[in-house]
Structure 1
């Protein structure tokens, strides 16, 4: 497939003030894309847009992925401002807080599903009319957790597995309209979300101090993989590429993961190290 050059195209990023959102915005601007920066923090994205070149090439709007109307308003105003919307990156999400079934409050579980999964659906719903006009691309930031389902992580893994399934469904649904849909599945990399997880004894025990199978990769490599996926209009992006087998054969790997990634008393010890009520986490939406 011919390279889908983002230069001169308008790219929307939700969660633009978050760690990954900021890095994606910088990399896309370096490729001469025009940027629509959406986040709960209007001041943060306004300052971010100014730093990226000002309103001619980048502009921020406050939007909440839990509120379809706010997304529809932002998309409409962005399309009017730039004249088009070509690519949408649904990057807003909350992250790696852990807790067992007993420890996690219903509100925390529901909030993760609402932001991480339903938020992607709302983002694509609001953007679809504009992206269809340009026969553009929709990209959702999922996770390797779509395929590798860690214990004590049920809200996150189920939300990210749902994003993977949603993108697979929408890919077929929008294909005849010339719109392509992809999902990105990075492993752990350095972001404020991972910093939060690394401050929790239970998370460090569960994920082997983020070593071995859970070793962090560079944020820059994740960004490059995502942008390469957009330029190729890929259905699926796995970062790093060495983990593609985990995405291609999750069922086959399940027994290996159960036995070697979480051996012995790992899970029981992680539960003991985790607060009795897992907090909901902070959104970048």
Structure 2
């Protein structure tokens, strides 16, 4: 990507790429007087550390951190269309996306239908080399992700969750993992509280809009949320009640360049999209003069 800037004729020194140990780089650059603005996309623990470094030097920071996106599905939604959309979105980049839908909160009366349909669609995904045009899902980023997912899935099953499909590594070459669906996962399971950042969907049942909102807002994260309903009244309650920086209802309307992209709480602050993103890079000054 940086080479594209060079090829396009951007003058030397305008865009810079530094390789090395991340901690050493950030601990040098953030305090440096030349640097006036920090933007970070990554995990919440690292983001908190970098934000504290920026704060020590009174430097502005945009923090786009982790999430644990809830998906609220109600019995008046178009269930088949919802499954088609969310399966595609869940397993995009093998679930390694900060806004990846993770905690599916499905109303009781349609939960079994949703679980069966979602699992069936997940099983049809072709996993393979990302350079193969026939592949629909590629590998995990590194070898650390596989034991991390295995630990979360094993913990959930040990606590009473049902492994509907997946839950296994594919082959012994590369970091490929089967699209996985867990159902009826207890609230105290690791995967209900820590972002899996992988191809694992958790599908739990909820009795009402109130129950869905309670679970959606339970965690300190608030990046993205998804909802599917045929009721304008329910949609209105969700717009007011879901605590997240972004909420998309009945479609996938996030991450467009012209709209804000950012979270609340442990998911960070500031935005990476829309005209609002530029504000963090500007200084507001007031000058008054009497002649």
Q: Which of these two proteins has the greater Rg computed from alpha carbons?
A: 2
If asked which structure has higher relative contact order (CA below 8 Å, sep 6+), I would say 1
Larger helix proportion of the pair:
1
TM-score, normalised on structure 2? 0.34
